[in-house]
A and B are shown apart, each in its own frame.
Chain A
Amino acid sequence: MSDANLTDGPITTADGTSLKKSLRLALRRQKIRALLLIAPLFLFILLTFIAPIFDMLVRSVENQSVPETIPRTIDALEAWEAGAGAPPDEQVFEAFYTDFALAVGYKTHTKLGARLNYESSGLSSLFRSTGRKVGKFDTDAYADAFVEADPAFEDPAAWATWMAGAATRQALPLTADTYDAWATMLMDTKGKLAAETEIPDFVTTALYRDLANGSRPADMPDVNVSGWEPVSLAGQFAGANKGWADPQVWAIIKTYGSSYTPGYFLNAADLQLTPEGISQRPENQRIYVRLFIRTIVLSVVITGTCILLGYPVAYLLANLPLRSANVLMILVLLPFWTSLLVRTSAWKVLLQNQGVINDVLVWIGIVADDNRLELINNATGTIIAMTHILLPFMILPLFSVMKTISPSYVRAAKSMGANDWTAFWRIYFPNSVPGIGAGSILVFILSIGYYITPELVGGTKGVFISNRIAYHISSSLNWGLAAALGTLLLVLVMALYWVYDRIVGIDNVKLGG
């Protein structure tokens, strides 16, 4: 072939460098400039938008607080079978005693209670009440017995020396671990040294357990504990609060013991994680699926009413002479110039039972005075107020698309024999569909995440999932669940967007031009 020599090697410039390389060099300045121009916005978005979304995604599965607060308990629970219907054995309680005593020192036991309370109510008070009593357990009997055997056990400095010795640490692993954790806790919370602080009961309990297990200390007084009366920690905990004897409580702790949990997501879908697997929540606790469905249905209805009300207005706007169109456009944009809160409050005044609309209807005689319409604090109120607020988002894209539809299309159709309706339906309408598409996607996505208006006029029957998210963020403080709900909402919107792209085609969406 004659052009074979063209493919022999890369094309070069006059001085022999590769053409591609020279081109890249020539374009580099432009690229750097473009990057610098977008950098401020990019950083802003990264910090204020992308990072929070990522944080939300993490929060919705994060469960660090449980394994971090009671790591020994979680380890010990490995062997326990929740299905057996009995509380765990003494070993678990021993581990839990250490964990819990440390948690009380750190004051994190209430947080853990709050976390587990999301899964089963009542756990928060269980943790709090036990926290007050854990220092008064009968385990002080061990301490007394040790001191009786050797007074050195009363001396924190002696303990510090023992615990520094490698041989002792190796011989008494449980004691060393507990002592270290306690020393760290002391330093972190009170800034005190373990060598100057009275040894707490849970440390001596750990020593007792080591010795009872047959360990022999290397260079610390050896005490024979085999004759001592063991204190049942299961009994101590049950004595502090009966809840600890309930296998259900331990099942929840075991189920939510891992660092990451699908629990929030399951909760957001009205499911729960049980030792047996995933199951539906009890009937009276299922609210989120219903809320999601309501949010979608109401958003669809709002989008629909926006199309119905906005289409004729947009048509008029696009076809009026410029001067009248401008006046109409100002009327359309007027709502944008008033605060959202003011508009919503205005709807409250208009729609309420003793409000303007009901008064007028009663005055005309359409509605009986004792049978006024329920227009607010329900789905109707949400639909009316949100349709009004979101209408401009439908009208503007519709208008800008209709503006590009040449009037000669309809004229051509008429000249070919189509009557007004046929010309509109077969010719004008199909050309305005991209505008409907753009308006719908705007209105739908805005309304699916709307918060203020449903909160103010929605009552209980007209609130959206976003209101529930806000509740969990600011009132119940269950941020994990709020994050899971938010993530589900995000996924839902993206899925709908995908479906929309499949059906309408995103190329068919025009914002004008």
Chain B
Amino acid sequence: MSDTDHFVEFERVQKSYDGEVLVVKDLNLAMPKGEFLTMLGPSGSGKTTCLMMLAGFETATHGDIRIGGRSINHIPPHKRGIGMVFQNYALFPHMTVAENLAFPLEVRKLDKSERETKVQRALDMVQMGDFGSRRPAQLSGGQQQRVALARALVFQPELVLMDEPLGALDKQLREHMQFEITRLAHELGITTVYVTHDQTEALTMSDRVAVFDDGRIQQLDAPDVLYEEPKNSFVAGFIGENNTLVGEVVEIKSDQLCVIRLDDGEVFDAKPVNVHKVGDKTRVSIRPERVEFNKDRMTPDAHTLHAEVLEFIYMGDIFRTRLRVAGNDEFIVKTRNAPDQPRLKPGQQIEIGWMPEDCRALDA
């Protein structure tokens, strides 16, 4: 990817509010045009600060932020031409929906007829064509969300920022809007930076997800890579459900296979990701749906661990079984509700195993 392909770039960006603590530590990020990128992370991880720096409401303490190759460090927010959707929509309460949408066009000095056409087109785009004369307070949360989206898009910005825009909606509406937003973003070819702390949202909507923690991007990858191949234990723990076992590397056979010994002496195979030499402490991560306890489905030579069933929860489409493995009471196994699937009973003693490549030895 050549430098000119990078539409939005963060280069060695740092941010501190008080001169003592860095909220954003050495952020490097490059986005091609048209990408839908999500910044995901717990609160206080610096993701919103990054968004605000991009929008121009915060200035970077150090480093360079570029849009289309041009440094925007010294461009005030109103000249950046970035559309933005806020967490609480920030619809102007004293204006009607149409006036809200016309505002960005008005400050751009478009004439009235052109404004009206664009406003109507934007409202139609979010299926709100008949609501132009309403006040924001007369709309439901979902409708306000659509209007906020239309307002951010009405002046046809190339870059749109969204700051947890679906946080206030109920689950069903949220899922619907997730689909709407991605559809619009792709149809219009807009580059989108989306901030959320909801990992499902991040995984379902994005082209790439940047997982933030402690002021750094911990991993920046496509959703499937992020889920299946987390690079460190934070990402593994933050994205999706995850079982963790703590142990030590006893042998590295290749870059695909190593042997881990747990604290209680049990031994099994894993894929070395963040371990480099024998003796390294490691946290091993296995997704609950990749754990197998049916001997017939395991490779014959696979290492197995002893487990005791603590709880069996029937969840409809899946079964969720809680086990005690190597002293860990929170070891979860998820199995599909299939006719031949056995239902484990609490107290039952079983052997569990997995494919070595599903078991990732990460940093301790």
A residues lining the B interface (CB < 8 Å): 406, 408-409, 411-420, 422-423, 426-427, 430-431
Q: A418-B103, A422-B107 are in contact. List 16 more A-B contacts (CB 8 A).
A: A408-B86, A411-B55, A411-B86, A412-B92, A415-B77, A415-B80, A415-B83, A415-B84, A415-B152, A416-B107, A416-B155, A417-B81, A418-B107, A423-B78, A426-B103, A431-B92
Provide the B129-143 mask, 1 if CB < 8 A to any CB of A, else 0: 000000000000000
A210 to chain B, nearest CB (A): 84
B103 touches A416 (CB 8 A): yes
A247 to chain B, nearest CB (A): 67
B88 touches A416 (CB 8 A): no
B108 CB–A CB distance under 8 Å: yes
A505 to chain B, nearest CB (A): 13
Which residues of chain B come closer than 8 Å to A418, judged between CB atoms? 78, 103-104, 107
B136 to chain A, nearest CB (A): 11
Which residues of chain A come closer than 8 Å to B103, judged between CB atoms? 413, 416, 418, 426
Which residues of chain A come closer than 8 Å to B56, judged between CB atoms? 414-415
B93 touches A431 (CB 8 A): yes
| Chain A, residue nearest B151 (CB) | A416
Which residues of chain A come closer than 8 Å to B87, judged between CB atoms? 408
A430 touches B104 (CB 8 A): no
B90 CB–A CB distance under 8 Å: yes
**Complex alpha-carbon distance, A413 and B93, angstroms:** 13
A408 touches B155 (CB 8 A): no
**Complex alpha-carbon distance, A422 and B161, angstroms:** 22
**Complex alpha-carbon distance, A22 and B80, angstroms:** 66
Which residues of chain B come closer than 8 Å to A409, judged between CB atoms? 90, 92
Partner of A417 from the list B90, B107, B161 (CB cut-off 8 Å) is B107
Across the A-B interface, the 10 shortest Cβ-Cβ residue pairs? A416-B104, A408-B90, A415-B84, A412-B90, A414-B77, A408-B86, A430-B94, A414-B78, A418-B107, A417-B107
**Complex alpha-carbon distance, A419 and B76, angstroms:** 9
Which residues of chain B come closer than 8 Å to A430, judged between CB atoms? 94
Which residues of chain B come closer than 8 Å to A412, judged between CB atoms? 84, 86, 90, 92, 151
Which residues of chain B come closer than 8 Å to A419, judged between CB atoms? 76, 78, 107
B179 CB–A CB distance under 8 Å: no
B295 to chain A, nearest CB (A): 58
Which residues of chain B come closer than 8 Å to A420, judged between CB atoms? 78
B residues lining the A interface (CB < 8 Å): 55-57, 76-84, 86-88, 90, 92-94, 103-104, 107-108, 151-152, 155, 161
| Chain A, residue nearest B108 (CB) | A417
| Chain A, residue nearest B79 (CB) | A417
A413 to chain B, nearest CB (A): 7
Which residues of chain B come closer than 8 Å to A415, judged between CB atoms? 55-56, 77-78, 80, 82-84, 152, 161
B93 to chain A, nearest CB (A): 7
Which residues of chain A come closer than 8 Å to B161, judged between CB atoms? 415
Which residues of chain A come closer than 8 Å to B86, judged between CB atoms? 408, 411-412
Partner of A411 from the list B76, B77, B108 (CB cut-off 8 Å) is B77
Which residues of chain A come closer than 8 Å to B92, judged between CB atoms? 409, 412-413, 427, 431
B107 touches A411 (CB 8 A): no
> What are 17 A-B pairs at a CB distance below 8 A?
A408-B86, A408-B87, A408-B88, A411-B55, A411-B90, A414-B56, A414-B78, A415-B55, A415-B56, A415-B77, A415-B84, A416-B104, A417-B107, A418-B104, A418-B107, A423-B78, A431-B93
| Chain A, residue nearest B87 (CB) | A408
Which residues of chain B come closer than 8 Å to A431, judged between CB atoms? 92-94
A322 to chain B, nearest CB (A): 15
**Complex alpha-carbon distance, A422 and B80, angstroms:** 16
A32 to chain B, nearest CB (A): 37
Which residues of chain A come closer than 8 Å to B82, judged between CB atoms? 415
B67 to chain A, nearest CB (A): 14
Which residues of chain A come closer than 8 Å to B79, judged between CB atoms? 417
Which residues of chain B come closer than 8 Å to A427, judged between CB atoms? 92
A425 to chain B, nearest CB (A): 11
**Complex alpha-carbon distance, A20 and B103, angstroms:** 52
**Complex alpha-carbon distance, A419 and B106, angstroms:** 12
B51 to chain A, nearest CB (A): 11
B78 touches A417 (CB 8 A): yes
A507 to chain B, nearest CB (A): 13
A51 to chain B, nearest CB (A): 43
**Complex alpha-carbon distance, A413 and B106, angstroms:** 11
Which residues of chain B come closer than 8 Å to A423, judged between CB atoms? 78
B155 touches A417 (CB 8 A): yes
A403 to chain B, nearest CB (A): 15
**Complex alpha-carbon distance, A406 and B87, angstroms:** 11
**Complex alpha-carbon distance, A408 and B52, angstroms:** 11
Which residues of chain B come closer than 8 Å to A406, judged between CB atoms? 88, 90
| Chain A, residue nearest B84 (CB) | A415
Which residues of chain A come closer than 8 Å to B57, judged between CB atoms? 411, 414
Which residues of chain A come closer than 8 Å to B151, judged between CB atoms? 412, 416
